[in-house]
Each structure stands twice: as C-alpha cells, then as structure tokens.
Copies of this chain bind each other. A is one copy, B any other.
Amino acid sequence: MLNITLPGLTLKNPVMPASGCFGFGKEFSNLYDLNKLGAIMIKAATPEARFGNETPRVAETPGGMLNAIGLQNPGLSGVIQTELPRLESFDVPIIANVAGSSIEDYMEVAERISQAPNVAALELNISCPNVKTGGIAFGTDPKMAADLTEAVKRVSSVPVYVKLSPNVTSISEIAIAVEQAGADGLTMINTLLGMRLDLKTGRPVLANKTGGLSGPAIKPVAIRMIHEVSRAVSIPIIGMGGIQSAEDVLEFLYAGASAVAVGTANFVNPFICSEIIDELPEMLSKYGFSHVRECIGRSHEDAPKPDYHRA
C-alpha cells in the first residue's frame, strides 16, 4: 500500500531523506537498514571538493534551525569514486543533488553523476541560499532556472527533478518555467533565508551571517507552496519542509506531493525515516486509505489528478 512510481523512480514507499540531511548515507547505514527507504537524496555534489562556510554553521530558532553549511562536499570525483559505490549494496534508488557556480558546473556534474549505476534521478539544486555564486540565483529567476534545466536535461542520462526555492514572489512561475524546460519533476521546498543575532555580541550567530531555515517552523509555507504548485504544473512533486511524523507525511500528500523527503528531523532523531515508514500503513488505515496514492492531492477537491497519479 506504500509503493509509488515516479519518473525514473520505483519507490517502495514515499519516504526518503532530504539532501544534506543524510550525508551520503554512511552514518545512517550503521543505525538501520537503508533498504527500508523509498530513496535517498544524497548531499550536493559540485565539480570540485569544497570546504564550505566557516563555523558556526548552525543555529537554533523557534521550532526550526538555520544552517549555512555552504555545499561542503568531496567533489564530483570523490562522490563517484567513494560515496556512490558504498551505496550500491543497497536496493534503493539514489537521487543525486547537483550544484555548482555556473551552468557548466551543473552540466559537468549532471552528465557524469547521472551515469553512475545507482543514480536513478537528479535533483537540481537551484535553491541553496548559502553560497555566493550559483545556488539560489538560479532558483529565483524563471528564465535562468529554465535555461539551466534545459542544459542539464540535454546531458543527463536520468530524469531531472528541480529543487525549488521558497524565497520567491511566485513559486508557480518558476515551477512552470522549469516544467516547460523539460523538468521531469519538482522537489520543494528548500530552506527559507533567515538570520539570528547573538544578544551579547550583536553579530550574526552564523559565520556566513544568513542561513537556511528548516524544520517544523516552515511546514505551513511548504504546504501552501506545494498546494499551489501542484495545481500549476502536471509533473510530480517530492515534498519537504518540516516533516517530523507520519501525520506530516499525510499532510504533504494531501497538499499534492507524490512522495516526501525528511530533512532536519534526521538530526533530532536519526531513526526518523525508518520509524515513519513503519508507522505509515497503520496511519493510512486510520484515515481510511488503502494506498498512499489515494491521499495525493486530496486537498484539491476539484483538481483533476495528473496522469501519473491515475496509473
């Protein structure tokens, strides 16, 4: 009652860890059997290895947290040679998060990483708020987002999902632009731009000054954006933003997501994805569903369901 099929992805269940919140799976593989997961969204890869921003990189906020990791990663070669092979022992589709400072960067990473045997789809990170170049810049301009999507689609061997930024006036506008540019799906939302100041020094707590806000605090923003975008486009959405429980998963599916990703909650409870997957069947029954598919988009009374939902 949990399986979902999306472009490039045959998911045992609709729950996967969100990019940047699960590393490359290594640490969690010591805690539970990763075969349980619907998929794994691995940490962003850039062409070159990056240290990222200076510390402090995280700060707590009411019901949420700020992070400014800054795309620290071992670089494309490191990911392909070390991280991805380690995940081959699991029967779980990998969604590779692709980042960079220029269209060429994205194309380079997308072309090579999409050829890795266990990479089933790409997630174009055009919404990272924590880097000076690239990242969010691509995600806030429909034209740039579309151009990038098109360029990456040309070189990718697997379906391409575009990760949308919530820091925009009209998220539907960006969603439509990337759909038209050939995106196979959307993932949303990335973090909201935020800041916290230290009362003693007066200065920002994060070395990077601003950071990305995630966690329960942003859930209502995510729900409304997914609700809106799922009406505006007909490609599927993987939803995220503050998910902490099986009930939250249900709310995201109702809003119009076809699957979900769990981010920050992995830090609070490293077993959370596994626990949510265990709880899903009973919770679905409790609310009268015999399959997760039935929940998708239920908040839109009159919305025609996109094709892949009818399958």
Contact = CB atoms under 8 A, between A and B. Distances in A.
A46 to B, nearest CB: 24
B194 A223 contact: yes
B223 A62 contact: no
Interface of A is mostly: mixed
B194 A221 contact: yes
Given A219-B62, A224-B210, A242-B62, A250 B169 contact: no
A142 to B, nearest CB: 10
B220 A66 contact: yes
Contacts of A221: 192-194, 213
Nearest to A192: B221
A199 B250 contact: yes
A200 B254 CA distance: 11
A195 B213 contact: no
Contact-residue size bin, chain A (C-beta under 8 Å from the other chain): 35 or more
A149 B217 CA distance: 32
A223 B242 CA distance: 20
Contact of A254 (B169, B197, B223): B197
A277 B193 CA distance: 30
Contacts of A202: 254, 295, 298-299
A65 to B, nearest CB: 9
A216 interface: yes
Contacts of A78: none
Interface in A167-208: 167-170, 192-197, 199-200, 202-204
Given A169-B167, A299-B203, A196 B223 contact: yes
Contacts of A224: 193-195, 210
B64 A195 contact: no
A291 B194 CA distance: 27
Nearest to A136: B169
Given A210-B224, A213-B220, A217-B63, A197 B242 contact: no
Interface in A284-311: 287, 295, 298-299, 301
Nearest to A301: B203
Given A63-B62, A220-B64, A199 B169 contact: no
A125 interface: no
Interface string A245-281: 0010011001100000000000000000000000000
A43 interface: no
A102 interface: no
A194 to B, nearest CB: 3
Interface of A: 61-64, 66, 140, 167-170, 192-197, 199-200, 202-204, 209-210, 213, 215-221, 223-224, 227, 242, 247, 250-251, 254-255, 287, 295, 298-299, 301
